[in-house]
Amino acid sequence: MTQDFPLPQHSRIVETDEDTLAMAAQAIRDGKLVAFPTETVYGLGADAASDRAVASIFDAKDRPQFNPLIVHFADAGQAALEVVFDDRARKLTQAFWPGSLTLVLPRRKDSSISLVASAGLDTLAVRVPDNIIARALIETSGRPIAAPSANRSGTLSPTAALHVELSLRDKVDIILDGGSCAVGIESTIVDLSGETPTLLRPGAIPMEDIAALLGPIALPGNGSAVKAPGMMSRHYAPSIPIRINITPENRQRGEAYLTFGPDAPKRAALNLSRKGDLKEAAGNLFAMLRALDMPGIRGIAVQPIPDVGLGRAINDRLERAALSLEKRALPKSIPDVNA
């Protein structure tokens, strides 16, 4: 099969060891961009205290300036220097940090974090990643690291170092290879800057687990301000049409069928989890969408996914992808790729 995008002649991917980690940490201190693994997806990192460095993230991703970034810390103590924790935040961080939970909290008046990272808001989106390479990079650089997903804005999030290189090319200085991401779907984002906890983005930590600690969780209303990543309606989109909640009899010719569970049709392109495991499905989501987003495939039909726990986060990503491409029609008279 001919590749649409040849690999760069001089790869920026480096195997992570003591020397390359030190090199990447110096790059962060020098205001450069470093892609690194987390348990969720690969992040495109820069010194969170440097306006210029953070601005270079937006430029590299072609990202809207009003969409805030997540700032990553080595531990909760480091984060507490920049944001105000209340009892709710302390309860959640004790339960889920390090881990795939991002909290939106009031920024301290003396915070060193660039206002560019928070899009000028008086809140910050913060988390402590559950990945040894990510935390080692933060500790070695001595800087909090602002990092959205390491891909062009609006495209599929990267869950492997190669995905980063294919998406960003020469816009990233170093890519630390940490293998495939353990979780493979972005962090859950909860806003604690107001009186009522609000789920801004479903993610790897199910809302039910958070509600078990805090009680009822609100959802943002229509027209809510963009306070965290993942709130844009057009997001996580492949380049071909995607239709969701499609049963076998409603597939169209030319669509690759992305299925879920042991009872899924055998004539399918890929199955997110033959065991019906939502955690496995979340880990496979972006990689499988990326695998199907290729020449010869004119569209992707996705079997219904249970809308509970991690399934809610998976459906959120799929709905955004479908929304951004829903007006593209499938060409007629094309082969059945599931045959």
CATH number of the domain at 75, please: 3.90.870.10
R_g over Cα of the chain: 20
Task: Give the pLDDT confidence score for residue 48 in this predicted structure.
Answer: 97
Q: Do 246 and 210 share a structural domain?
A: no
Interatomic CA distance for residues 243 and 223, integer angstroms? 25
Residues 6+ apart with CB under 8 A from 131: 37, 38, 39, 98, 178, 182
Query: Do 185 and 288 share a structural domain?
Result: no
Any domain includes 331:
no
- Are 299 and 160 contained in the same domain? no
Are 198 and 280 members of one domain?
A: no
The answer on pLDDT for 234 being more than 70 is no
**What is the rounded CA–CA span in Å between residue 71 and residue 136?**
15
Q: How far is residue 248's CA from residue 2's CA, in Å, rounded to a whole number? A: 30
Specify the CATH number for the domain of residue 270: 3.40.50
Q: Is residue 224 part of a domain?
A: no
Residue 65 sits in the same domain as residue 197: yes
Percent of the chain with pLDDT over 90: 65
pLDDT band with cut points at 50, 70 and 90 for residue 314: confident
- Residue partners of 267: CB distance under 8 A and separation at least 6: 257, 338, 339
Q: Do 110 and 25 sit in the same domain of this protein?
A: yes
What is the end-to-end Cα distance of the chain in Å, rounded? 18
Residue 234 lies in a domain: no
Say whether both 121 and 252 belong to one domain: no
The predicted-structure confidence for 163-210, as pLDDT tens digits, reads as follows 999 999 999 999 999 999 999 999 999 999 999 999 999 999 999 999
Pick out the residues of the known binding site for L-threonine: 40, 72, 127, 147, 187
Spatial separation of the C-alpha atoms in residues 312 and 207, rounded to whole Å: 9
What does the alpha-carbon distance between residue 242 and residue 182 come to, in Å, rounded to a whole number? 25
Residue 236 resides in a domain:
no
Q: 62-71, 134-143, 163-172, 255-264 — which is least confidently predicted?
A: 62-71
Average pLDDT over residues 278-287: 84
Band (pLDDT 50/70/90 cuts) for residue 290 is confident
More confident residue, 42 or 228: 42
- Cite the annotated binding site for ATP by residue number: 63, 67, 123, 149, 157, 201, 236
Q: Per-residue pLDDT tens for 64-91?
A: 665 789 999 999 999 999 999 999 999 9
* 210-223 burial: b if 16+ Cβ within 10 Å, else e: beeebeeeeebeee
The count of structural domains within the chain is 2
Do 251 and 198 share a structural domain? Answer: no
Q: Is the pLDDT of residue 98 over 50?
A: yes
80 and 185 in a single domain? The answer is: yes
Judgement on whether residues 143 and 288 belong to the same structural domain of the protein:
no
Structural domain that includes position 136 = 13-214
List C-alpha distances in Å: 227 to 88, 153, 288: 19, 17, 29
- Residues 135 and 208: their CA atoms lie apart, in Å, by 27
136 located within any domain: yes
- Answer yes or no: is 151 within a domain: yes
Instruction: Using alpha carbons only, give the angle 257, 260, 264 rounded to the nearest 5 degrees.
Output: 75
User: CB under 8 Å to 143, separation ≥6 — which residues?
Assistant: 28, 29, 47, 48, 49
Q: Report residue 337's pLDDT band, with 50, 70 and 90 as the boundaries.
A: very low
- The answer, yes or no, to whether residue 133 has pLDDT greater than 60, is yes
Domain boundary among 198, 214, 230: 214
- On whether both 197 and 161 belong to a single domain, the answer is yes
DSSP assigned state of 139 = H
Task: Give the count of beta carbons closer than 10 Å to the beta carbon of residue 19.
Answer: 10
Annotated binding site: 40, 63, 67, 72, 123, 127, 147, 149, 157, 187, 201, 236
Within this chain, do residues 250 and 169 fall inside the same structural domain, yes or no?
A: no
Position 136, amino acid: A
How far apart, in whole angstroms, are the C-alpha atoms of residue 280 and residue 302?
16
User: Is residue 199 included in any domain, yes or no?
Assistant: yes
Domain boundary among 168, 197, 214: 214
pTM of the model: 0.80
- Looking at the domain assignment, is residue 81 inside a domain? yes
